[in-house]
Structure 1
C-alpha cells in the first residue's frame, strides 16, 4: 500500500468501538458503561454487547467480536475484511471519508511528513491498546473478586423460593447435593444503569439463586444470578423494570469470567460421563429425568457462545431464510457463525471438558433459532471431540426446551 493509504489505515485503527457504535446509531452520544441489545446482523435481542470499559464488542449468536471500530462497522455492514478491498472499505466507513487518491503526486517533504505522522499514529494506537489491555485486566480482576464475594456470601442453605423455583421449572425435587453448588441469597440487589452522578441504580432487591462458574481446577471464576418471585407465574421472574429501549430487564446476570469455565449442577467433575447445555434449568431437568445418576456430572455453560466456542471465520454461511436491510436499504442474508471451531483457540475462549471424560451429552434448545443453534451445537461437538470420547447432542421437540418438556405433562 502507498504511504497515503498507510496513514488512512492507521487513522481508521484509532477509531474506538464506542465511536463506531455511536456513528452506527447502536448507542447514544453520551454512552458509558455496558450496552446489551439487538445485534445489527443477526438481530439477537440479548446476545450483542458493547463495553465502554473494555473497548470491545461481541455477539454471542454470531460468534463474532472485536476491539476496534473497523471490526464493528465491518460486522454491521456485512463487509468482508479478509480482502484488501473490503478492509479498506471498512476503514473508509469508520472514518466517514473516501479513500485517498493513490495517484496523487507528493513532494519528498510531504512524503517524509506523512511517514512521520504514520509512525506517530502507530505509537498512539499501540499506547491506547496497551492502556485498554491494562484496564481490561484490572476490570476482569475486580469482576472475578466481586463475583466470588457474591457467591461465597450467599447461603448454602437453600431458600424455600429457590427450591420451589427449581421444582416448578424442572419438574423434580432437587437432592441436597444440588444445593452444594447452587446457593441462595434472600436479599440480592439487581443493579442496572447509572444515575446522573454516575452511580449504579438498584432496580430490585429480592431472592436470587447464585451459582458459581468454575474452571477445571474447581476454582470459582464468576457467578450466575437468577432473581426469583414465586408470586409471578408462569415464569416466576420479578418486575425488574425496563432498559433504555423499553424491553424488560433479564432476570439473570453473569459476573466475573465465564469463558473457559462452567456451572456445576450435580455430581463430581471426576466422572467419565458429562451431561449439560446452556442453562441451569435444562441441565437439572435432564438430571431429574435420569434420577440424578451418580456416575454423571451435570453442568451448564451459561450461554451458547461458551458452550460452542468461537467459529472459524471461513465457515460462516448465509442463513437460508433470514434477511436484514443494510445501510443502503438492500436486503441481505443474515450471516451465521459456521459449524467449524476456530483454529488454535485458547482454553479460556470457551468451556472446557477434561480428557478423562469418555461420554459427553450436549443439550440443545428447541426454542432458539434453529439454524444458529444447530451450527453452534455442531461446532461444540467438533471442538470437544477426542479419541475415545463418544459425543451426542440431545434435542427437545421443536419450539421447546428440556425444562418446558419436563414440566409439560
Structure 2
C-alpha cells in the first residue's frame, strides 16, 4: 500500500518541468532558443537528444523515446525503468533533488552498482564512438582538401596562361581581370556528377574552367572553387548541365549526357531532370575565403559572395594597391548563421506550409548567432580597418539585405569601417561592368 508521503513525493516530481529537471541534471542549455540538442547521457551520439523548454518536451532519437515530463527524461538519462516502483521513485528523487521517504522501496546497492556500471560502460563506448567519428570526418575532410589541391596546383595562372578562356571569361563578365596569381585556369577540368552501377563517380563533362583557391587564416589551401566556361553561351558564358532526378529514374528515363539536347521545360517542371550548377566547390569552404587580388595582410578588404562581382569592382576602382580583393563563395559563408530570435516574416513572399496553408516566408534575421563557431563564416584579418562588403543586387532583396546586415554585425570590430555597397537594382556589379564595357 502506497503511503501519503510517497504519493506526495511522486506528485511533487510530476510538477517539475522539463526545463527545471534539465537544470537539476546539469544538462546543456544553448545560449538562446528553446530547443537544446546534445549527446544523450544514456545513448551517446552528437545531437541525438534534445529538450524543448517552450513545449515542455524531450526526445531521444537514438533511443526512440521521448515525453513531456521531467520524470521520464531523468529515467531515460539514468537508465531507470519507470514501469517499476523502484525505477519511478529513483527518477523522482533525481528530479526533486531530495531523498525519497524512508518507507519507499529503493534500489539495492547491487542494483545501483550494476546500473551505474552500465552507464559508465556506455559513456566510455560513446566517447570511443565519438572519437572514431571525428577521426573519420577528419580523414574525409583531408582527402577532400587534397583533391582540391590536386585540381588547383597543377593549373596555370589565369593572367599568363596560353589558355585564354579565363581572361576572356572575366573580360566579358567583368570588363577585365586582376594582375594577380590567385586565379588559375585549366583546359580539361572534369565535372563529376552521379554514380555508375558500381557506385563510382561519373564524369559528366571535361572542359575549360577557372579555378580559385579557398584559403584559411594561415593562407593554406583548404578547398577550391571551379567555374566551367563556355564562351559561346552569353551572357553568363558558362555551359549548361542537366542531371537525372530520382523521379526521372523511376519513370525510366536515362541520365543526360553532355552533348544531348537540353532537357525539356516539361521534364524540368515535372522534376524528372534538374538544372545542375556550372560552379562547384571541392574540399572545405567553411570559414575560408577566395582571394582574388592583393594580399590578406592589407588593412583594406573588398569582397562579397562571388568572384565576378569582386573582379568587376576591382576593375572599377583600379585594383588599389592597398586593398585585398576576395569572395566568400556564398552568402552563408559571408554572413554566418543568424540568431533564431531575429527571424522575421518576409513582407511579400509566401510559401505553403506542411498543411498546404500559404504563409509568409521566414527570413534569417540581421543578428548573428551568439554561440557560433569562429569558422561558421569567412575569416577576416584582425588588422583590417576597412571592410567593404559588396551586395548582390539581382538576388532577393530582403533576404540579401538581412544577410549583409548580419555580415556587418558579425565582422564588426572597434574602429573598423564596414560599408555595404549595392549595385543598381536588379543588377550585380559584373553585369554593370559588362554593360558599361559594351556601351549599353
CA RMSD of aligned residues (A): 3.4
CA distance in 2, matches of 1:100, 1:197: 47
Aligned in 2, Cα 1:372/1:123: closer, same or farther, shift over 3 Å?
farther
Match 1:85 to one of 55, 59, 74:
55
Q: Which residue of 2 aligns with 1:106?
A: 83
Shift of 1:129: 4.4
After TM superposition, where is structure 1 displaced by more than 6 Å over at least 4 residues in a row? 94-98, 100-105, 115-118, 120-125
Cα deviations across residues 263-289 of structure 1 (Å, max 9, x unaligned)? 111112222211100000000000011
Q: Which residue of 1 aligns with 2:280?
A: 253
Q: Which residue of 1 aligns with 2:101?
A: none
When Rg is computed on C-alpha atoms for both structures, the one with the higher figure is: 2
CA distance in 1, matches of 2:312, 2:279: 18
Aligned in 2, Cα 1:321/1:402: closer, same or farther, shift over 3 Å?
same
Shift of 1:361: 0.7
Shift of 1:371: 1.6
Pick 1 or 2: higher relative contact order, CA cutoff 8 A, min separation 6: 1
Cα deviations across residues 320-348 of structure 1 (Å, max 9, x unaligned)? 23233222233333222211112243322
Deviates more, 1:192-201 or 1:279-288: 192-201
Aligned residue for 1:329, secondary structure, equals coil
CA distance in 2, matches of 1:357, 1:275: 10
Aligned in 2, Cα 1:222/1:98: closer, same or farther, shift over 3 Å?
closer
Shift of 1:68: 5.2
1:268 correspondence with 2:245: no
Query: How do 1:4-19 and structure 2 match up within 5 A?
Result: none
Aligned residue for 1:145, secondary structure, equals helix
1:389 correspondence with 2:390: no
Cα deviations across residues 350-381 of structure 1 (Å, max 9, x unaligned)? 11111221111100011111121111100111
Aligned residue for 2:399, secondary structure, equals helix
Aligned in 2, Cα 1:105/1:139: closer, same or farther, shift over 3 Å?
closer
CA distance in 2, matches of 1:160, 1:311: 41
Query: How do 1:369-384 and structure 2 match up within 5 A?
Result: 369-384=396-411
Aligned residue for 1:368, secondary structure, equals coil
CA distance in 1, matches of 2:432, 2:317: 14
CA distance in 1, matches of 2:426, 2:190: 33
Aligned residue for 1:382, secondary structure, equals helix
Show structure 2 runs of 5+ residues with no match.
Answer: 1-12, 23-45, 73-80, 89-106, 246-270
Shift of 1:69: 7.3
Match 2:167 to one of 163, 168, 174:
163
Shift of 1:216: 2.7
Conserved? CA contact 2:176–2:311, under 8 Å = no
Q: Which residue of 1 aligns with 2:425?
A: 398
* TM-score normalised by length of structure 2: 0.67
Shift of 1:395: 0.6
Aligned in 2, Cα 1:124/1:317: closer, same or farther, shift over 3 Å?
farther
Shift of 1:99: 4.7
